[in-house]
């Protein structure tokens, strides 16, 4: 499964780059990214809760819950220290970023997210083909908005479009690095999967879902539930494929 996990990790990484490219080159497409945020939130929450967490507990019944909490707390700490004024998915305004260092601080925080996205994909394929595919899809759905976000932050902090684009590339590299880490050192699986599950819980529940809830009406909520339903359908179908 090494080649497959690396290939899919590369595909997820390219989605980061695509998100950055949308902001730098395209016009008008960014408004549709919110649907990916909602769809990805539902799929990611379902994957973390129904697959990643139970498998983490099976691999390490005593240490697994502690590592999941550690992953959750680590991202929470990052987002409330070096990224204290940044909220994933929000529209970025120039007046919120008064120093050039802010953009790189956000890049550092999102790089940690991206690294554990890759660890999650690699860990899933070490466990089983089904889990690997489910985690990949959960990660892939929020990758384009992630790339768009870091590019928008860089522009708002006064950086050039070129720097904004290469910041999205940096997230792509971090994602692929996470896949390689767990695939080349599979004995880290009992640690990597629970930590990445905790990260997934945080990204889903604390970053993505609040952005879904900010939208008026029921449309975004329905897209969120569509993400959950899509996960349940694929979980039923994948073992038969």
Q: How far is CA 191 from CA 66, 71, 109, 116, in A?
A: 10, 10, 20, 11
Q: Which residues contact 8 (CB under 8 A, 6 or more apart)?
A: 121, 125, 132, 133, 136, 140, 179
| Separation CA 231–CA 225 (nearest Å) | 10
Q: What is the pLDDT along the chain (241 residues), one digit of tens a residue?
A: 567 888 888 898 998 888 888 766 766 665 666 787 888 889 999 999 999 999 999 999 999 999 999 999 988 887 777 655 455 544 444 444 445 556 677 788 788 888 999 999 999 998 888 899 999 999 998 887 788 777 877 776 677 888 888 988 999 999 999 999 988 888 889 999 999 999 999 988 887 888 788 878 888 899 999 999 999 998 888 765 4
| Separation CA 207–CA 193 (nearest Å) | 20
- 8 A C-beta contact, residue 18 and residue 36: no
Angle at 110 between CA 80 and CA 232, to 5 degrees: 100
Token digits for 219? 């449309």
| Separation CA 143–CA 147 (nearest Å) | 6
Its pTM surpasses 0.85:
no
């Amino acid at each position: 499964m090494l080649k497959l996990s690396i290939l899919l990790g590369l595909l997820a990484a390219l989605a980061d780059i695509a998100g950055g490219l949308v902001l730098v080159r395209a016009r008008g497409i960014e408004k549709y990214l919110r649907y990916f945020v909602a769809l990805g939130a539902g799929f990611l929450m379902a994957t973390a809760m129904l697959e990643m967490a139970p498998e983490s507990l099976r691999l390490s019944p005593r240490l697994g819950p502690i590592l999941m909490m550690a992953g959750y707390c680590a991202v929470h700490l990052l987002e409330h220290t070096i990224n204290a004024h940044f909220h994933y998915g929000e529209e970025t305004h120039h007046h919120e970023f008064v120093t050039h260092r802010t953009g790189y601080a956000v890049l550092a925080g999102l790089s940690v997210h991206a690294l554990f996205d890759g660890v999650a994909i690699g860990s899933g394929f070490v466990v089983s083909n089904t889990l690997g595919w489910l985690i990949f899809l959960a990660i892939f759905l929020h990758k384009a908005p992630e790339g768009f976000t870091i590019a928008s932050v860089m522009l708002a902090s006064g950086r050039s479009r070129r720097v904004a684009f290469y910041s999205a590339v940096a997230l792509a590299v971090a994602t692929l690095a996470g896949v390689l880490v767990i695939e080349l050192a599979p004995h880290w699986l009992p640690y990597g999967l629970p930590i990445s599950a905790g990260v997934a819980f945080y990204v889903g529940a604390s970053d993505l879902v609040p952005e879904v809830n900010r939208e008026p009406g029921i449309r975004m909520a329905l897209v969120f539930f569509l993400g959950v339903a899509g996960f349940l359908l694929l979980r039923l179908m994948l073992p038969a494929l």
